Structure formats: structure tokens, C-alpha cells
Amino acid sequence: MAKLRQKPITFESDTRVSLNQGRIKVSGPKGDMEIELPSVVKAQVAQNEVTLAAASVKDNPMVGLYNSLIRNAITGVKSGWQKTLELVGVGFRAQVDGGNLTLNVGFSHQVKINAPQGISFEVKDNKITVSGINKYEVGEVAANVRRVKPPEPYKGKGIRYLNEVVRKKLGKAAKAIGGAPGAK
């Protein structure tokens, strides 16, 4: 990570990057994003690459941060970001209503999650896909969906990320009869 700040950020011809008064605007097939640079980070845009530099040595970490933010923006406007969650539990369902997500996850009521601008939901079987061009927003919305009903440690029911490993506990019955083999 430390050496990333020294490499220029390259992008393809279908993506446009422009610099205007300390703001970098990234445009691509999926949409536009704008990143405001702090005064300690200097940027130059030439042909198909962006070069960042720090005003002083102590500002090098900021260059690394904005390097990653610009790379993520370029990837987002080109191909987008997505996170997939899965519903585990009997009767757990999800559906998309007018761009918003409605969850039936064992509560006495339905849980509605409004999609922020630039974020879309897709439901197929028991999987929910959150997608958009901003990596931070996609991750934040996916975390908010998971927070509605996180996986519980006894049976693993709840909303989890795809391929997330949920550590399960044995429960009272296993402890009462001596626990798992080898347990003390």
C-alpha cells in the first residue's frame, strides 16, 4: 500500500477524468462521481493517467487514501460495485417494490429499506444484490440490510453476506450432556 501512491492511476478511454479547482470528476458508462481533494494533495491529469503528489512528507498517507478513492471511483463508473447477501431461515423473503427493498425476516411486520440515490436492489431466490457506482455507499447499504437481522450463533438464521462464515455455538443441551468430544 505504501508504494501505491507513487504509481500513476491509469484508466481506459471509455472513462473520462477531469480536474477542476481541487475536485476530480470521474465519468464513465455507469455514471459520474466527484471527489474533492484536500489542499495537501496535488493532482495532475494527463491523457489516460492521474498522478497525485503530497505537499509535504507528512501528507503522504493522504495521497495513498485519495489514490484508492480515485481508483475505486474509476472502477465504479466503469463496471460498478456490488455486494450480495443471502437470507437464511424458514419463511424469510425479500422483494423489491419500486426500487425499495421489503424484508420479511421473522418480525411481526415487514421491514422496508429505502434505496439511496445511485443504489439499486435486485432479489433472486434468497439472495439480495446491492449495486451502485460508489463502493462506500454499496457497502454501507449492504451493512444496513444485514443489520436488520444479523445471523444468530445457534442455527445461523438471519441475513448474511454471501460466503460469510457464521461461527455457531453448541447451546445448552450440548453442555448438559458433557459438551462436544474433547471439550472441557
Q: Residue 98 and residue 38: Cα distance in Å, rounded?
A: 38
Contact (CB, 8 A) for 48 and 10: yes
Identify which of 65, 75, 64, 56 has the alpha carbon closest to the alpha carbon of residue 4.
64
On whether residue 168 sits in a domain, the answer given is no
CATH number assigned to the domain comprising residue 59: 3.90.930.12
Identify which of 89, 95, 98, 96 has the alpha carbon closest to the alpha carbon of residue 149.
89
On whether residue 179 sits in a domain, the answer given is no
Q: Residue 4 and residue 178: Cα distance in Å, rounded?
A: 53
β-partners of residue 97 are 100
- pLDDT (0 to 100) of residue 5: 61
On whether residue 171 sits in a domain, the answer given is no
Tell me the pTM: 0.85
**Domain-ending residue, one of 64, 79, 94:** 79
Q: Residue 16 and residue 141: Cα distance in Å, rounded?
A: 27
Q: Are 86 and 157 found together in one domain?
A: yes
End-to-end CA distance of the chain: 43
- pLDDT (0 to 100) of residue 172: 83
On whether residue 139 sits in a domain, the answer given is yes
pLDDT digits (tens, 9 = 90+) for 52-61: 998 888 988 8
**Domain-ending residue, one of 79, 108, 129:** 79
Q: Are 46 and 104 found together in one domain?
A: no
On whether residue 183 sits in a domain, the answer given is no
On whether residue 58 sits in a domain, the answer given is yes
Contact (CB, 8 A) for 58 and 68: no
- pLDDT (0 to 100) of residue 160: 95
**Domain-ending residue, one of 31, 49, 79:** 79
Q: Residue 116 and residue 101: Cα distance in Å, rounded?
A: 11
Q: Residue 95 and residue 104: Cα distance in Å, rounded?
A: 9
Can you list the residues of the chain whose pLDDT is less than 70?
1-5, 175-176, 178-184
**By residue range, what is the domain housing residue 49?**
4-79
